[in-house]
Amino acid sequence: MVMQPEDIRAMVDAPEVADNLMQRASIRRFEERPVETEKIEAFVRAGQQAPFTGQMYSVIVTTERARREELAGIFGPLVTGAPVFALVCVDFRRLEKFIAARGRTNRTDDLSMLFLGIQDAAYMGQNMVLAAEALGLGSCFLGAAPFAADQLREMFFMPSRVYPLVGLVLGYPAERPGPRPRIPLECVLHWDTYQDLTDEGVERALDVMDAGLIREGYYRRLNAKIPLDEEGKDELPADDDYGWGEHVSRKYSLLRLSGIRDMLSRSGIDTSGSGEVQG
């Protein structure tokens, strides 16, 4: 049985919750009207109900046009078209203040702390998105934040032991795109033991992902096709051949991200295992 959104909707007591989950899509076009302060406070407060005890997260929100124009240099023009930008951060600093208030010192190494902090902040970010959409807003996550930490820390006066995890734009939607396809459940759900994906399974999954996105012209519409080499000299596939498989294979084979360990260190977070960079 292939689980469909309508099957999930029929199983829950609150169908609107299932719709909020299963029909969700990133919004990239927003109305110009501002978002009310109480709605911003409401979705951040809902974010706080995410699981885990440490609550190692902070959210920096800006609605200022000039600040969003500055952020567009990091995240792209989508930031200037949305009335609200939120930066979800991993925050060791506040937790360590609570620990110190009880006369103790955090003795967990920073690499372990980082994994726990990312969990905390990621759960909060997703709660925020779901709450915002229940309030009539749309949203889109922006993943460049960890790789632009030096700029963001300077821009937002972020102290030591706080690190940007993900950006988020929000506002009233000016579009209503349908949900994007996802890898088949059989590739994700493993009963009792991990089941490695066969070559046939890989092709089935690629077919599922490619079919919807190619039909929609998703990457063409977003002008998101990735050249194969750094000079951009290769010939891109035609629209009817450029789907999710082509996109992710190009993206992650060409992605050149580095320097994050140094940026973490400059943020007072030591991932070397030496435990020497606190404070």
* 32 pLDDT tier (thresholds 50, 70, 90): very high
How far apart CA 247 and CA 235 sit, in angstroms, is 14
Q: Is the pLDDT assigned to residue 49 strictly greater than 70? A: yes
φ and ψ of 66, to 5 deg = -65, -40
- Cα distances (angstroms) measured from residue 202 to each of 103, 243, 249: 54, 14, 13
Query: What does the pLDDT look like over 70-95, one tens digit per residue?
Result: 999 999 999 999 999 999 999 999 99
- CATH architecture of the domain formed by 5-177: 3-Layer(aba) Sandwich (3.40)
pTM: 0.86
pLDDT grade, residue 14 (50/70/90)?
low
Residue 161, phi-psi category: left (phi > 0), alpha (psi -120 to 50), beta (remainder) = left
On average, the pLDDT of the chain sits at: 88
Region(s) of the chain under CATH 3.40.109.10: 5-177
Write out the H or E segment, with its range, that includes residue 90: strand 84-91
| Counts of helices then strands in the chain (DSSP H, E) | 12, 4
Q: Kindly state the DSSP code that residue 250 receives in the 8-state scheme.
A: H
Q: How many CA atoms lie within 13 A of 23 on its CB side?
A: 15
- Tell me the pairing of strands 57-62 and 162-171: unpaired
Residues facing 59 on adjacent strands: 88
- Among 27-36, 41-50, 138-147, 231-240, name the one with the lowest average pLDDT: 231-240
**Rounded Cα–Cα distance for residues 236 and 70 (Å):** 32
- Residue 53 in this model has a pLDDT that exceeds 60: yes
